[in-house]
A and B are shown apart, each in its own frame.
Chain A
Amino acid sequence: MSQPLLALHHVGFRYGRRDLFLDANLALESGTATALIGPNGVGKTTLLRLASGIQKPTSGSIDLDGRPLASLSPRQAAQQIALVPQQLEIPFDYTVQEVVEQGRTPYLSRLGGLTAADRQQVDRALDLTSTAGLRHRVFNELSGGERQRVKIALGLAQQPRLLLLDEPTQNLDIGRQIELLDLLAHLRSTGLAVLASLHDLHLIAGNFSAVLLLRPSAAPLYGPPDRILEQSLLESAFDCEASHHPFFSQLPTRAGS
């Protein structure tokens, strides 16, 4: 079997005296998309931060190409992995172009500025996300959907092999959600691996090949969507009785549980 791009082995994170999660396992291959789901406060953002390398797990190990992620310098990690944050608050009126140029930070020399090659990557990131037309607009004045695409462009300017997204569909209308999913599908077809946390479970089918479910009081579950998106599993993970809800009633029920 081929080496996965990113692998989490029994990863746990302890926050203060509480275990946020324990024993999370995951294997991300290039060109695949995995959804990260779970109730509020279960640690989805934290798991993404661990996967990006900016935070270290309290137990277990994370490997990139079979090498410990922790052995990479922050700069090296930033050349492989991009994390698209849920919120990007920028003081002052930076333009879209100026924001996306920051994605080249891991490639710049100590004193140097952007080279022609860097500018080319910035243009490519803007083109991929259809934000080239926004490049001279002020980031703070963009709509939610435009901001989301610019944030992804910032991540793509890093030329990552793994794109981590924190709630990318949050606050987007259905049209912008579909636009975003199409963009992710396109990026996947270029060989990028995607791990995205989501609240809208109905967006998973057809768009994501695997699901990691974080649960408040049980071990995380990892598998294909049809095995994880199962009524009783979700009801217990999200702590609700929802069999009467149209979305839940469409889900398969596991016989005998």
Chain B
Amino acid sequence: MDLEVERRRQQRRADTNGAASAASSPDARLTKQRPASRSSSSRALLLPLLVATLLGAILLSLSVGAVPIRTTTLLRAVLLQNELTATERIILFKVRLPRILSSAIVGSCLSVSGLLFQGLFRNPMADPYVIGASGGSVLGASLGIFLFAETSLFGLSVTALLAFAGSVLTMVVIYSLARSRGQTNVVTLLLAGFAVSTMLANCTYVFEVLDSASGSGTRILLSWLRGVISTPHWTGLVFAAAALVAGVLLAFPLTRRLNTLALGDETAQQLGLNVEHTRIAIILVGSLLTSVAVALGGLISFAGLIIPNISRVLLGPNMTRLLPVSVLAGAIFLVLADTLARTVLSPTEIPVGVLMALVGGPFFLYLLRRPRREISL
């Protein structure tokens, strides 16, 4: 009995708090001015600044690890092209640099696909992991690894194609589930994403059981599920970088259309936009980037959520402006996160996916708590 009374009292207190904050929020929003960084002069400086930060982050990440290499040594090596020992060369070019570039590509891919999906769903909560696109990609890639490991189509491995197809299929399913009458219901979107992710993750466990004999595929799968950034060969890295560049170039003309789509399907259609074609293009480009990220780093949660949302707070919602910032900031963010992941518990490393879940989870909850007007559309 006491418990019930206490529960009701808490409920009432929560209600009054909710009402109070709801009442104060309109005033707070009215006084809000556009941030200074939306002005064009500081915008012009932003991209060079981000490039410099990215180079700095890469340099920092190169220097730390089981064998520390001083940044001055690195700088001298870059500028004067000498002074590296054979061991240092191996560490830098066979181990650290591929891994760092890999994490940068993963970060850019996740941020840009997050940005595209947020525009598609007209909702800041969308992210390739949250809505299950990453999960679909992992499932597709697992099918490839376990069933068609040696097959290739038009020079591309079937595994890569299936990773892409898995992401596209998942997106189509989620999209048709979460949209009704031109609106995205945020609860349906998140629940559909949750259901599909869980389903896919558990499907991949079945592969693990089936493949327990050989074990190599299983090891890859496990690192995918935990979100470990791989250390790819240079050819793989070049392919991934090419896919990222292609994805960003294709995304660029889509950003203007995403701004139009923000007005709603009907208004966009009335403005002469081919809404269906635009949506298909967004799903394809977003899925391409998602599958590149999955191929290099597996399931990394929330990265595609954090960077676009922080950028949007600082720069406003214009997608054309957010795209280059997301590419660079996403790369910086994941380079730093992966550096932390491989050094913080040295000599063992924690998967960056685990680290991101720990950081991204609270951020996701914070987004959920924001005024309903912005997220319930």
| Bound-complex Cα distance A178 to B299 (A) | 57
Q: Is the CB of B124 within 8 A of A90?
A: no
B318 at the interface (CB under 8 A from A): yes
Given contacts A90-B263, A91-B124, A110-B253, contact A141 B272 (CB under 8 A): no
Residue of B nearest to A53 (CB): B270
Contacts of A140 in B (CB 8 A): 373
| Bound-complex Cα distance A89 to B320 (A) | 20
A31 at the interface (CB under 8 A from B): no
Q: Is the CB of B34 within 8 A of A102?
A: no
A121 at the interface (CB under 8 A from B): no
The B-contacting residues of A in range 150-166, CB under 8 angstroms, are 154, 158
| Bound-complex Cα distance A99 to B317 (A) | 11
Contacts of A103 in B (CB 8 A): 271
B324 at the interface (CB under 8 A from A): no
Stretch at the interface among B59-67, B87-95, B236-244, B254-262: B254-262
Q: Is the CB of A91 within 8 A of B260?
A: no
Q: Is the CB of A83 within 8 A of B270?
A: yes
A170 at the interface (CB under 8 A from B): no
Q: Is the CB of A89 within 8 A of B269?
A: no
| Bound-complex Cα distance A73 to B312 (A) | 34
Contacts of B273 in A (CB 8 A): 74, 105
Q: B270 is contacted by which of A52, A93, A111 (Cβ under 8 Å)?
A: A52
B15 at the interface (CB under 8 A from A): no
B111 at the interface (CB under 8 A from A): no
A179 at the interface (CB under 8 A from B): no
Q: Is the CB of A54 within 8 A of B269?
A: yes
Residue of A nearest to B184 (CB): A91
| Bound-complex Cα distance A157 to B256 (A) | 16
Q: Is the CB of B123 within 8 A of A91?
A: yes
What is the number of residues of chain A that contact chain B, defined by CB distance less than 8 Å? 36
A77 at the interface (CB under 8 A from B): yes
Given contacts A140-B373, A141-B32, contact A88 B272 (CB under 8 A): no
Q: Is the CB of A74 within 8 A of B272?
A: yes
Q: Is the CB of B253 within 8 A of A111?
A: yes
Contacts of B267 in A (CB 8 A): 83, 85, 88, 102, 154
Q: In the complex, how many angstroms separate the beta carbon of B85 from the nearest chain A beta carbon?
A: 49
Most B-side CB within 10 Å, residue of A78, A88, A105, A110:
A105
Q: In the complex, how many angstroms separate the beta carbon of A126 from the nearest chain B beta carbon?
A: 17
Q: In the complex, how many angstroms separate the beta carbon of A197 from the nearest chain B beta carbon?
A: 15
Q: Is the CB of A105 within 8 A of B272?
A: yes
Residue of B nearest to A82 (CB): B270
Q: B259 is contacted by which of A73, A76, A98 (Cβ under 8 Å)?
A: A98
B75 at the interface (CB under 8 A from A): no
Given contacts A102-B263, A141-B29, contact A91 B374 (CB under 8 A): yes
Contacts of B34 in A (CB 8 A): 95, 136, 138
| Bound-complex Cα distance A90 to B183 (A) | 11
B316 at the interface (CB under 8 A from A): yes
Given contacts A74-B272, A140-B373, contact A91 B122 (CB under 8 A): yes
Contacts of A105 in B (CB 8 A): 260, 268, 271-273
B349 at the interface (CB under 8 A from A): no
Contacts of B253 in A (CB 8 A): 110-111
| B interface with A by C-beta (< 8 Å) | 29-30, 32, 34, 122-124, 253, 256, 259-260, 262-264, 266-274, 312, 316-318, 320, 373-374, 377
- Listed by A's residue number, 23 A-B pairs whose Cβ atoms lie within 8 Å are A73-B272, A74-B269, A74-B274, A76-B272, A78-B272, A79-B272, A85-B267, A85-B270, A89-B377, A91-B122, A91-B374, A92-B374, A93-B316, A94-B316, A94-B317, A98-B259, A98-B316, A102-B259, A102-B260, A105-B272, A106-B272, A138-B34, A141-B30
Q: Given A99-B263, A105-B271, A106-B272, output 6 extra A-B contacts at Cβ < 8 Å.
A: A75-B272, A82-B270, A92-B374, A98-B316, A102-B271, A154-B267
| A interface with B by C-beta (< 8 Å) | 52, 54, 73-79, 82-83, 85, 88-95, 98-99, 102-103, 105-106, 108, 110-111, 113, 136, 138, 140-141, 154, 158
